């Protein structure tokens, strides 16, 4: 980058130049996660649920004491469930929406301290607030006094949390576990492909975005997918999302913020925060936005912080407007062009066909748009996000860019300068650019490329501005204008026909009236003599005087 003009150039890599470093400004310590077991081959029997190397099953047909539950699990060649980390806890919580009772787990205090069955040490706990409270002092024998249940009831805010109860007197349903059967065919994992795919749970659909985004940018990008930043209203969804994002190892924005100095954080959808999963000490930011950390807990950061992604919740109905909404609407669907709004523009994705540059220009002009131009990084991220869905159909789309030989610069098709770029490593040299070059953006990574204009392996994205106060595009407007002209001409023709009909009717009426008046003066078809006319006139006058 030159210091004088701030433009980019290429240079030999061994040339000694000053350099600039960049690092994140997030100084918080990332939580350490427990190492997970490597999944082994095999699967689980019917009614058992596989997670990594374990199989779980909830027995909710009868309530029993803790010791009876322990014995029943052993009859099934298993043990009462032991929970080793937050992911196992999250998995079990996702199984609970249809369960209505508290559940025995394999935690007890028979040795004056809490241990798992088979004397396994406790490495992870999920006690509810104020627990364990203790129901008595255990005697140092094999008969524990206090045993742990997993909460489930109303309100459901603490569902999945642990409480200690009297092992010998209380009766509850229970959950067993056993190892996977290595002889069974392995079952598919629920989160084998989180990126660029939709995730469904409890009648809701989610999508995880992995792009560098500020919070407001994440809001707009989710909306372009007909969604909104995710809200988490109960522990079941929280547990599901905790599992979904585990393999990504990066914090993700959610739809929780406090930008106006309110007393509390609120969801983007204006719903109050009833369920909370804040990490200890949070929220630290009085004004800020919330994200889901790699362990599933919520933390806060300034809303202008760039995180590496976000969680969107897809909507089935229309999106509601908000203070970050842009004015105007997209054109109506024309032919095969369906428009996607983003900020001040609308985009029509045509990945079903591969076109040359000139054909792409004609197609966009036909629907009232221009071939794609990209003004900044956020727009490039938006295009990249949507292109990844079509990666199997086309490796990229054309950019509406050309080389201006007079100025020696690149310009968009509307003659505005190219002030933002995202060239690949081998496409940055000025010697590579010429009037015979054409330019495209790669579907897999959002990087810009240049190549031959005769290359017909590209799709096309048409772009147009939002229509202020109307949703009719230019071609549609012209089509409507033609219709209006036809209607006006038809109306004029109809008026002319009505006028002619009235004229003919009036002319006939006058003609008939003239004949009638003539009959009063002529009582015969022959021409009257002068004396006869006088007699008739006198007779008429006398008749009129008699009427008066």
Coil, helix or strand for 470? coil
Which pLDDT score is estimated for 450? 85
According to DSSP, the residues that pair with 53 across neighbouring strands are none
Number of H-type helices and E-type strands within the chain: 8, 25
Beta strands in 127-251 (DSSP E): 146-150, 162-166, 172-179, 198-201, 204-209, 227-229
Mean pLDDT of 142-156: 82
Question: What is the Cα–Cα distance from 302 to 215, expressed in whole angstroms?
Answer: 9
* pLDDT confidence of residue 47: 92
Which residues contact residue 327 at a Cβ distance below 8 angstroms, ignoring those fewer than 6 apart? 466, 468
Mean pLDDT of 529-538: 46
pTM (2 d.p.): 0.72
Write down the pLDDT at residue 517.
47
Higher-confidence position of 437 and 530: 437
Tell me which of 260-269, 314-323, 440-449 is least confident. 314-323
Strands 310-314 and 204-209 turn out to be: antiparallel
What pLDDT sits at residue 36? 60
What is residue 527's predicted lDDT score, i.e. its pLDDT?
46
Q: Among 182-186, 244-248, 372-376, 482-486, name the one with the lowest average pLDDT.
A: 482-486
Angstrom distance (rounded) from CA 105 to CA 88: 13
Spatial distance between the Cα atoms of 200 and 244, rounded to a whole number of angstroms: 11
Question: Could you tell me the pLDDT band of residue 238, with boundaries at 50, 70 and 90?
Answer: very high
* Inter-axis angle of helices 377-387 and 215-224, nearest 10: 40
Instruction: Return the structure tokens found at 341.
Output: 């709004």
Interval 109-140: pLDDT, tens: 877 789 999 888 899 999 998 888 876 555 55
Quick one: 223 exposed, middle or buried, by C-beta within 10 A (0-12, 13-18, 19+)? Answer: buried
Q: Where are the beta strands (DSSP E) in 37-82?
A: 49-51, 54-64, 79-80
- Provide, rounded to the nearest whole percent, the portion of the chain with pLDDT above 90: 46
Q: Please name each of the domains of the chain with its CATH number.
A: 49-179 (3.10.100.10), 198-314 (3.10.100.10), 339-465 (3.10.100.10)
Name the average pLDDT for the chain: 82
Closest CA to 54 of 106, 125, 119: 106
Distance CA 397, CA 382 (A): 14
Q: According to the model, what pLDDT value does residue 534 have? A: 46
> What are the pLDDT digits (tens) for 457-508?
789 999 999 887 644 444 444 444 555 666 677 778 787 887 777 777 777 7
| pLDDT of 366 over the 60 cut | yes
- Looking at 334-338, 430-434, 520-524, 541-545, which range is the least confident one? 520-524
Please report the pLDDT score of residue 4 as a whole number.
66
pLDDT digits (tens, 9 = 90+) for 60-111: 999 999 999 999 999 999 999 999 999 999 999 999 998 889 999 999 987 7
Q: pLDDT tens digits for 13-29? A: 888 888 888 876 554 44
Smallest CA-to-CA distance from 174 within 254, 88, 91, 79 is with: 79
Long-range contacts of 129-138 (CB under 8 A, 24+ apart): 129/158, 129/161, 131/161, 131/162, 131/163, 131/164, 132/162, 132/163, 132/164, 133/163, 133/164, 134/164, 135/164, 135/165, 135/166, 136/166, 138/109, 138/110, 138/111, 138/112
Predicted local confidence at residue 134, as pLDDT: 77
Dig out the tokens for 53 from the structure: 């190397």
Residue 84 near residue 123, CB atoms below 8 Å: yes
What is the model's pLDDT at position 25? 58
pLDDT of residue 532: 45
According to DSSP H, which parts of 133-257 are helical?
215-224, 235-245
Q: What's the pLDDT tens digit per position in 28-39?
A: 444 455 556 667
């Amino acid at each position: 980058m030159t210091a004088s003009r701030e433009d980019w150039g290429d240079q030999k890599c061994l040339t000694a130049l000053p350099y600039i470093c960049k690092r994140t400004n997030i100084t918080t310590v990332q939580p350490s996660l427990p190492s997970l077991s490597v999944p082994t081959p095999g699967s689980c029997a019917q009614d058992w649920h596989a997670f990594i190397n374990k199989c779980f099953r909830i027995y909710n047909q009868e309530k029993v004491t803790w010791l009876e539950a322990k014995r029943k699990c052993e009859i099934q060649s298993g043990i009462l469930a032991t929970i080793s980390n937050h992911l196992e806890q999250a998995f079990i919580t996702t199984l609970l929406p249809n369960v209505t009772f508290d559940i025995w787990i394999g935690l007890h205090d028979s040795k004056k301290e809490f241990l798992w069955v088979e004397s396994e040490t406790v490495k992870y706990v999920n006690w509810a607030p104020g627990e364990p409270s203790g129901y008595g002092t255990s005697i140092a024998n094999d008969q524990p006094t206090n045993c742990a249940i997993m909460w489930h009831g109303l309100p459901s805010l603490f569902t999945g949390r642990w409480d200690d109860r009297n092992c010998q007197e209380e009766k509850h349903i229970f959950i067993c576990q056993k190892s996977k059967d290595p002889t069974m065919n392995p079952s598919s994992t629920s989160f084998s492909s989180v990126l660029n795919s939709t995730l469904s749970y409890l009648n809701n659909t989610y999508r995880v975005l992995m792009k560098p985004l500020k919070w407001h940018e994440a809001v707009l990008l989710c909306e372009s997918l007909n969604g909104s930043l995710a809200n988490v209203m109960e522990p079941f969804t929280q547990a599901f999302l905790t599992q979904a994002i585990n393999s990504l190892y990066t914090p993700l924005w959610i739809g929780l913020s406090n930008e106006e100095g309110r007393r509390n954080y609120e969801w983007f959808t204006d719903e109050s925060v009833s369920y909370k999963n804040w990490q200890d000490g949070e929220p630290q930011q009085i004004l800020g936005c919330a994200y889901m950390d790699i362990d599933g807990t919520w933390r806060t950061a300034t809303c202008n912080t760039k995180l590496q992604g976000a969680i969107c919740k897809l909507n089935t109905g229309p999106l509601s407007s908000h203070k970050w909404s842009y004015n105007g609407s997209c054109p109506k669907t024309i032919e095969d062009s369906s428009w996607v709004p983003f900020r001040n523009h609308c985009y029509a994705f045509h990945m079903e066909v591969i076109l040359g540059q000139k054909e792409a220009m004609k197609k966009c002009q036909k629907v009232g748009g221009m071939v794609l131009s990209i003004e900044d990084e956020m727009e490039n991220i938006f295009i990249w996000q949507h292109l990844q869905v079509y990666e199997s159909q086309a490796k990229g789309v054309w950019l509406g860019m050309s080389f201006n030989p007079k100025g020696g610069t690149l310009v968009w098709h509307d003659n505005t300068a190219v002030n933002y770029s995202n060239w690949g490593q081998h496409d940055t040299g000025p010697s590579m650019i010429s009037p015979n070059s054409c330019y495209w953006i790669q579907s897999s990574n959002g990087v810009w490329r240049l190549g031959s204009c005769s290359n017909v392996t590209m799709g096309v994205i048409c772009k147009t501005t939002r229509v202020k106060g109307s949703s009719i595009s230019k071609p549609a407007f012209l089509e409507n204008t033609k219709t209006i002209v036809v209607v006006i001409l038809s109306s004029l023709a109809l008026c002319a026909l009505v006028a002619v009909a009235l004229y003919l009717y009036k002319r006939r009426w006058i003609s008939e009236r003239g004949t009638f008046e003539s009959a009063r003066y002529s009582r015969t078809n022959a021409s009257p003599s002068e004396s006869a006319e006088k007699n008739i006139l006198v007779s008429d006058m006398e008749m009129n005087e008699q009427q008066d």
